[in-house]
Amino acid sequence: MIPRTLFDHDHEMFRDQVRRFMETEIAPHHEDWEEAGEVPRSAWKRAGELGFLCTAIPEEAGGVGGDRRHAIIMMEEQARLNLTGLGFALHSDIVAPYIDHYGTPEQKQAWLPEMASGDRITGIAMTEPSGGSDLKALRTRAVRDGDHYVLNGQKTFITNGQTADMFLVACRTDPDAGSRGISLIAVETDSPGFTRGRRLKKMGTKAQDTSELSFEDVRVPVFNVIGEEGKGFGYMMQELAWERMHVGISAISTCEAALEWTIDYTRERKAFGQTIFDFQNTRFKLAEMKTEVQVGRAFLDRCLELVLDGELDATTAAMVKYWTSEMQGRVLDELLQLFGGYGFMWEYPITRAFADARVQRIYAGSNEIMKELIARSL
């Protein structure tokens, strides 16, 4: 195996703490949360108490004061146990960076400390019923009215939809300016006119409270605009590269774990007088999958180094998202096959991982869009 060089001793100590938390305080309850369709606020509060939210946000801005390697560890340990219900990464490593990078000092002071403590859960509302990947076509409108904006529109497939206290809403503030007419506005969920729609029933990630949202004449203070009016599309393009790395981190870590589950299972399960592992076909399949995952790990880790150095370009991020999510689908399908009929049973982790992985090729920009972005660099 190729040694990993991303993390130092302090990071690995942090990993031990995160792993203990995930194994003892999250994993035992995750099945119940799948039945309920959401993760309780108590889990968020506990994560905040332990310093596991907003890990890469500077202390002076209200965060924990770590770096993106701490965020990577959080995502890896969550994926290792396939705890797909947790919306921590979206909250800590997508929403919080928008506020940290583009927000005013007053916004950071108002929101980031509560986000780090778990008292304020957040989400981001981009996708609309009429389309997802085509952000330039969004229809949600925000009209200036004195020292407020008045929002109207609908959003769908929104993570943390039932539990969030605040959403960053992508909306159109100038209907005639194309992508330059899109802004990001923070909307608190106790605002009159805001309503949560149904919790969506999905084929996977069942503990994640993915929801529809509606905005009907919602008045939001001008204070809540993130950065400058009309620059929201540019901000989203800037941050989407990091979001696409989340897909790669989850994909590789899940596959590494699934490979271990499958090796263990095939060494124990017997058929025709020998273990499944003893069949040459099984060993060859596992060898193929181990190689694919190792190739993905080497590619991903090099790209994460570029992230840490501030040198990752959007094209390479698209390659990561596209290739790792496709690889995840191939690998989990092959591994599930080795479980036989038990691979079709929901109580087996491989089954959940297989179902949960399907969306990886869809969100953060569909893989068809990723190919288009890559093709533009040819």
113 vs 139: CA distance, rounded Å: 32
Q: What are the φ and ψ backbone dihedral angles of 122, each rounded to 5 degrees?
A: -130, 165
Q: What is the pLDDT of residue 136?
A: 77
- Dihedral of CA 306/307/313/314: which sign? positive
308 vs 183: CA distance, rounded Å: 27
Cβ–Cβ under 8 Å, residues 281 and 266: no
What is the β-pairing status of strands 211-221 and 182-188?
unpaired
Q: Catalytic residue at 243? A: yes
Mind listing the domains of the chain with CATH numbers?
9-120 (1.10.540.10), 123-229 (2.40.110.10), 234-375 (1.20.140.10)
Residue 295's SS3 state is helix
248 vs 299: CA distance, rounded Å: 10
Given a cut of 50, the residues of the chain with pLDDT beneath it are none
User: Of these residues, 188, 243, 268, 334, which one is catalytic?
Assistant: 243
pTM exceeds 0.85: yes
Q: What are the φ and ψ backbone dihedral angles of 300, each rounded to 5 degrees?
A: -65, -45
81 vs 328: CA distance, rounded Å: 15
- Per residue in 22-49, pLDDT (tens digit) is 999 999 999 999 999 999 999 999 999 9
Cβ–Cβ under 8 Å, residues 164 and 188: no
What is the β-pairing status of strands 141-145 and 182-188?
unpaired
> Which of 312, 313, 333, 322 shows the shortest CA–CA distance to 360?
322
